[in-house]
Structure 1
Amino acid sequence: MELFTIGYERASVCDFLVTLQRVGIEQVIDIRELPQSRRKGFSKNQLAGHLEGAGIIYRHFRQLGDPKHGREAAKAGLFDEFKAIYNAHLDLNASLSALKDVASLAFEKKSVLLCYERDARYCHRKIVADRLSVLYSFRVNHLGVREGIGEADSSRQGRSEFARASI
């Protein structure tokens, strides 16, 4: 089975949705602890609405979010500390249960793990994806959102339904 990850940093909603559609994503699994964003369209309810308009299911797993002290370590550039904090968080029973639930969902539908950071190397979603790969034999692919892909795609297709619904 294949599992994808994606970050929306610097992305527009339109470019983000086109990226998901081109890969055939059926389900977004949001693993932000706090699914709020200063980036327009990426807070939980807005994002869920955009995804629904594109025919993509939205799920949120707060338990797999990076705890505050892990986020602080990452922001400070202390990536070894960040990884240690987050790996310890994933070893909690509640996190292991959430991982099992995510794996079950990802076995049923083509899924992507969502967080903010553009580069998966510096994001907890890579740690989650790696853990799911070890536990459940997922092949992991990290996606990037290419700027302008949504505008180019919608002009080529006469402004597709999902692009219209998402803007």
Structure 2
Amino acid sequence: MFYRRKIILSLIDLLGGEVEKLRFQKLLFLYAMRKQNPEYDFVPYKFGCYSYSANADMIAMIKKEQIAESDKLFLKIDQTEYFNTLKPLDQTLLSEIVEDYGSMSSSTLIKHTYLNFPFFATKSTIVHDVLPGALYDRVEKEIPKADTISLFTIGYEGVSLEKYLIKLVRNNVKLLVDVRRNPLSMKFGFSKTLLKRYCNSLDIEYIHIPEVGIASENRQQLNDQKDYDVLFKNYCKTTIKETTDAQKRILELLVKHRRIALTCFEAEPCQCHRSHLASAISNLPNFDYPLIHL
């Protein structure tokens, strides 16, 4: 079993074997905020902090009959006690979370997370009810407001779905342009259908432009930067020259949406074709905007 799922099952055990669905995400979030490298990351969502990855794990454990659910509750039905198999630090942190917040009502818990972690309340549909009047000011200050037309690029190698999306949200990106030839990934959340769904849930539009990508068969045996340089030299001689219309379309999308990001896999721009594509777009007539690699 994945270690991160043991964290969830142990948390529910410490709460008496069941937890309200709304409280579950908040308690797991508070646990994550006390860890340097938590098992789950979070995004601002319609009821505050939310982890798509944790939700996916809950669905998986329900299918495996480790957890059951009702309209409002998650119930642990796996009889194994996982708490003693956790690292000592995680045992301590989970125990502290349950001691500090375990008896707190849902409404109080929501208010606590909104007040202490206001960025994660910026997408909430209930924030004005939870934090009326002047209390809302601290959330208002956290809402990304940058509006300068900017072209970003971003890779998802080595980061969780939530950390990736947070970068987009904090930079007020309005449109994600997927420039992979084949928008499939073994990594959770990064295949086309799911990535589009998660972007849309955070008010970020998504579009796939495969013709500017590199075919998978051309991406084999990339062992060092020299191999990448050869690949991109060929890419610039062929695909870049053959996709001028697509590049112009991306520029039009930039002007329309003001802040867009080109995305592919690699973390380092120098090892991804998106940097060369972005450079080609920046050399088009009338391009006079910042180019930023996230």
**Hey, what's the Cα distance between the residues in 1 that align with 2:216 and 2:191?**
18
- 87, 97, 104: which one aligns with 2:245: 97
Percent identical among aligned pairs is 29
C-alpha distance in structure 2 between counterparts of 1:43 and 1:17, whole Å: 14
- 1:23 partnered with 2:174: no
Give deviations 1:84-123, integer Å, cap 9, x for gaps: 211021111xx11111111100111110000000011110
Query: 2:275 aligns to what?
Result: 126
Structure 2, unmatched stretches of 5+, are 1-148
Which residue of structure 2 lines up, in the alignment, with residue 11 of structure 1? 159
Secondary structure of the 1:58 match is: strand
Residues 173 and 260, structure 2, Cα contact 8 Å, conserved in 1:
yes
> Residue 134 of structure 1: CA displacement?
1.1
What is the number of equivalent residue pairs in this alignment? 140
One-letter amino acid of the structure 2 residue matched with residue 37 of structure 1: S
Deviation at 1:69, TM superposition (A): 4.9
Contact 2:182 2:215 in 1 (8 A): no
Query: Residue in 1 aligned with 2:76?
Result: none
Runs of 4+ in 1 over 6 A off after TM superposition: none
What is the rounded CA distance, in whole Å, between the counterparts of 1:67 and 1:76 in structure 2?
17
Which residue does the alignment assign to 1:142? 293
Amino acid at match of 1:20: L
Unpaired stretches in structure 1, ≥5 consecutive residues: 144-167
SS in 2 for 1:91: helix
SS of corresponding position for 1:20: helix
Q: Secondary structure at the match of 1:99?
A: helix
TM-score using structure 2 length:
0.46
> Do 1:67 and 1:86's aligned partners in 2 also have CA atoms closer than 8 Å?
no
Q: Given the two structures, how large is their TM-score scaled by the length of structure 1?
A: 0.79
Q: State the alpha-carbon separation in 2 of the partners of residues 90 and 70 from structure 1.
A: 15
Amino acid at match of 1:61: I
**1:113-162: CA deviation from partner (whole Å, max 9, x where unpaired):** 0000001111000001111111133321000xxxxxxxxxxxxxxxxxxx
Question: C-alpha distance in 2, partners of 1:34/1:50?
Answer: 18
In 1, the alpha carbon distance for the partners of 2:276 and 2:269 equals 9
Distance 1:138 1:132 in 2: 11
Question: Which structure's relative contact order is higher, taking Cα pairs within 8 Å and 6+ residues apart?
Answer: 1
